[in-house]
Amino acid sequence: MCAIVGCYNTPAAATITRLGMLNVQHRAQEWVGIVSSDGHNFYPERAPFRAPGHVRQVLTEGVMSTLMGHMAFGHLRYSTQGASELNNAQPHRATTADGDIFFASNGDILNCSPLRKELRGRGATFYSANDAEIIVKLIAHRYRECGDMARAIREAKRQLVGTYSGVLMTRDRMFLFRDPIENRPFSYAVAPDGAILFASETSAIDIMTADYPAFEGKRYRRAEVSRDTILELANGTIITHEDRQEDRKLAHCAFEHVYFLRPDSVGFGLLATDTRKRLATALAKEIDLSETDFICPVPDSGNVAALALSRVTGIPMEFALVRSHYIGRTFIEHTQTARDSAVREKFNPVSELIRGKVIVLVDDSIVRSTTIRQLVGMIRGCEPKKIIVLITAPPIQHPCYYGVDIKERLIAADLAGDIEAIKRSIGLREDEVLHYLSLDGLRSAFPDPQNWCYACWNGDYPTSIKDYVRPEG
C-alpha cells in the first residue's frame, strides 16, 4: 500500500504537499519521494528526490528549500512490487521529445511482464522492478505516437490489468487518473483561489486545507477522481477528458475501510469511522458476550469498533492495552523480524485491569498473526480469567494482487481456514474464543455491497488473474 499527495496552482506547493504526506504516513513507512515544477524546470535539480525513512526525518528544511514552483506531488512507498531500494522508489521518470515526465501511483499492475517485454522491444530501458516505471514508460511511448498526453494516458490505461490511482507531471501541467474498477481511494479539492489539492486520503486534504488562507476556515468540497475521466491540471484550472471504458463493475477495496484508511478519512464516499461502527454492530449480532467483564481494543486499529461494540452491547470498554505512538504500524514493516520486535515495543498491557477478568480483545484483522499472537501472550501474563478475540473481518485466505502486501504467510490460508487451529496458534485455550466476522456481516457494512472487492477473503478477483498468478517482483 502506498500514498500519493500533491497540489497545483499555489506558490507553496511543496510545503503543502509535505504537510499532506505527514498525514498519510500510516499508509507507508519505507520510502519518501517528491518532485516539483515552476512550469519551466523540475526540482530539485536532479529530480526526483527519493530517500528511505519517514516524511518528518527525510523532508528536512534543507530538502524543502530546493523544491520550488507552483505544483508538486509526493509519494510514500510500502513495497509490494520490487525490493525496498532506491530504484524502486517513486516518482519514476520517462523522457519524451518535449522533456521529462514524472509519475507515481498507488496500486499494483498484474501484467508487468508482457508490458515490459513489449516496451523493451521498442527501445525502453528499465531501472526498477516497480510497476509504476512500466506505466510511465508506456504513457511516454503512447505520447511519442500521438503527441497528446491525455490521449496517451487513455490508450495506456487500456493496456493495464490491475489497479492504480496515478499522478503524472510534465513541466507545466499535471494529470490525475484512476483504474476502471476504482480500487484505490483518490480524492481532490479545489480552493477558492484556484489551487487544486489531491491525496490518497481525505484526511490529508483536511490538513492541507485547514490553514490555507483561501478557504477562510471553511470546509472544502471534496470530490473523487473518477474512472471515467482524466483530469488535466493546466492553465490554472481543471480540464476534464472523458475516458469511459468497458462497462466493468466497481470493486472498491473493502480492506481500505477495515484497516488502512484513517478513521477520519472518507474513502469511496464513506467515512471510515462509520464503516467500522457498522462492522462492530454486525459482529455483535454473531456472538454472545453476556459473560464478559470488559471490551478492550487493540489500539489504534480496534478503537472505533471496540467503542461501537461497547455501545451496542452495554459492556464497558477499558484501554487495557496501551500503545506507544512512537512506533509505526507493524503490518507495513518490511520484514517479519521487524514486525515481531515492533509489537513488543509498541504495546503494554495494564495488568491491574486484566487480572481475573474475562476480556474481549477487538481488532480489525489477522493477517500473519504477528500482532495478535504476541498480544495474547502478553495478556496471558497478566492472568486474565478468559480471553475472547473478536475480529471485525473474515479470515484472510487469499493473496491481494492490487497493492496490499497480503501474499505469503497468511495464517488463515496456511491453516486451511480452520478456526480452532488458528485459535491454538495464537495462544488461546480450548475454552476461549476466536470469532471472525462473517463475509455476510462484512458486506452488510457497505450500503452498496456489490461494488466492493472482497478478494482477500473470498478469492473472487475483480480482474483476470489467470495469466498473471502473481505480480512480478
Task: Print the SS3 string covering the chain.
Answer: CCEEEEEECCCCHHHHHHHHHHCCHHHCCCEEEEEEECCCCEECCCCCEEEECCHHHHCCHHHHCCCCCCEEEEEEECCCCCCCCHHHCCCEEEEECCEEEEEEEECCECCHHHHHHHHHHCCCCCCCCCHHHHHHHHHHHHHHHHCCHHHHHHHHHCCCCECCEEEEECCCCEEEEECCCCCCCCEEEECCCCCEEEECCHHHHHHHHHCCHHHCCCCCCEEECCCCEEEEEECCEEEEEECCCCCCCCCEEHHHHHHHCCCCCEECCEEHHHHHHHHHHHHHCCCCCCCCCEEEECCCCCHHHHHHHHHHHCCCECCCEEECCCCCCCCCCCCHHHHHHHHHHHEEECHHHHCCCEEEEEECCCCCCHHHHHHHHHHHCCCCCEEEEEECCCCCCCCCCCCCCCCCCCHHHHCCCCHHHHHHHCCCCCCCEEEECCHHHHHCCCCCHHHEECHHHHCCCCCCCCCCCCCCC
Of 65, 6, 70, the C-alpha closest to 34 is 6
2 is catalytic: yes
Residue 364 cell numbers, joined: 480489525
Question: What are the b/e assignments for 77-100, b being 16+ CB within 10 Å?
Answer: bbbbbbeeeeebbbbbbbebeeeb
Question: What are the b/e assignments for 180-193, b being 16+ CB within 10 Å?
Answer: bbbbbbbbbbbbee
Residue 134 cell numbers, joined: 512500466
Length of the chain measured in residues: 473
Angle between helices 370-380 and 336-346 (to 10 degrees): 40
Catalytic positions are 2
